[in-house]
Amino acid sequence: MARALKRATVAPKGMGLNDFVAQEEGFFAAEGLEVEFDWKTFRGTQSSWKGLNYFERPQDRPYSKDKHDVIQGACAWGSICNASAGMGRFVPDAYGLSPWAIFVRPDSKIQRPEDLKDVAVSVGMRAGSHFNVPYRLEKYLPLENIKTVNTGGFGARLQALLDGEVEAASLLPPQIAMAEQLGLRKIIEDTFHTLWWVPPAAEPDVVLAYLRALDRAEKALQADLEKYLPLWKLAVPAEFENYHPWDLRKFGRGEKFIYQAIPRAEFDEVMDQVKRWGLDQYLKDRSYEHLSFSVSDTGHS
């Protein structure tokens, strides 16, 4: 007799392919899950956040407004800060490794990271595109000369850059590949860690099954990346679908899933950094034990 599947709602980050591969290949079902993608939240995170305060962003609404359970992912800074602000718990048992870059238009006078002095970089406030800016630019510029402007999700940031609304934009996958295909110029690039965050009342076995499915997807991607590159079409916002003849084969890997616990020291570093950057206004509880939601599985490598 087949076992009953447990239901789970997931809002993909869209920075990698693991969620889409796990759904496509039946890895969620193999781990006992019936996963429904929360496209409303996902598309919302890609759109403009202008005029929205913290707790009003699309990814905040499941915790602050709509009150529905959803598994999400964000940068390590964002996931930890969201938990500290009372929005869910971060899962320390696995993390993602994602590319990041700042782009400008091809005719821009900005050539080097140092040229970004006092230039407002388009970001999605208090998310990976935001936190990466001081984290990566501080080696080139004093904090007081590192500026950001809240535009919102990656579709909105890319559009703002193309329209000349901003001089520079902080981008993540797949918009990095999209920017390259559009002829935009990269000023600085690096990688950063992501974490998953879940409701405080999430079922540990559901979260564990979700991570196992992502790990299966990671192994599939490592074995045959080319097979899955067409799935990037799911991460391209509707307004960009026909904007350009995208070559999805050149979109690359995007975020990688790493089934290892994130070092505890990284939590402490995040707390120190956001305080120094002046981005700790909403932090309340700062206890690792209270903010983390561990579902450690001794069976994974």
Rounded to 5°, angle at Cα 231 from 225 and 236 = 125
Q: Quick one: pLDDT at residue 165?
A: 97
pTM (predicted TM-score): 0.94
CA–CA distance, 27 with 31 (Å, rounded to integer): 6
99-189: same fold as 6-98+193-291?
Answer: yes
Sign of CA dihedral 254, 202, 126, 263: negative
Contacts of 72 (CB under 8 A, 6+ apart): 10, 11, 13, 41, 59, 62, 88, 196, 197, 198
Q: Quick one: pLDDT at residue 65?
A: 75
- How big is the chain, counted in residues? 301
The residue ranges of every structural domain in the chain are 6-98+193-291, 99-189
Q: Quick one: pLDDT at residue 79?
A: 97
| Contact yes or no for 157/124 (Cβ under 8 A) | yes
Q: Quick one: pLDDT at residue 297?
A: 60
Of all helices (H) and strands (E), which one includes residue 8? strand 6-10
CATH: 3.40.190.170, 3.20.20.70, 3.40.50.970, 3.40.190.10. Which one for 99-189? 3.40.190.10
- Give pLDDT tens digits for 100-119: 999 999 999 999 999 999 99
Backbone φ and ψ for 205, nearest 5 degrees, come out as -70, -30
User: What 3-state DSSP class applies to 151?
Assistant: coil
The pLDDT profile of the chain, 301 residues, written as one tens digit per residue, is 456 889 999 999 899 999 999 999 999 999 999 999 999 999 999 999 998 999 999 999 988 877 678 999 999 999 999 999 999 999 999 999 999 999 999 999 999 999 999 999 999 999 999 999 999 999 999 999 999 999 999 899 999 999 999 999 999 999 999 999 999 999 999 999 999 999 999 999 999 999 999 999 999 999 999 999 999 999 999 899 999 999 999 999 999 999 999 999 999 999 999 999 999 999 999 999 999 999 986 445 4
6-98+193-291 topology per CATH:
D-Maltodextrin-Binding Protein; domain 2 (3.40.190)
CA 201 from centre of chain: 22
CA–CA distance, 74 with 60 (Å, rounded to integer): 11
Q: Quick one: pLDDT at residue 68?
A: 77
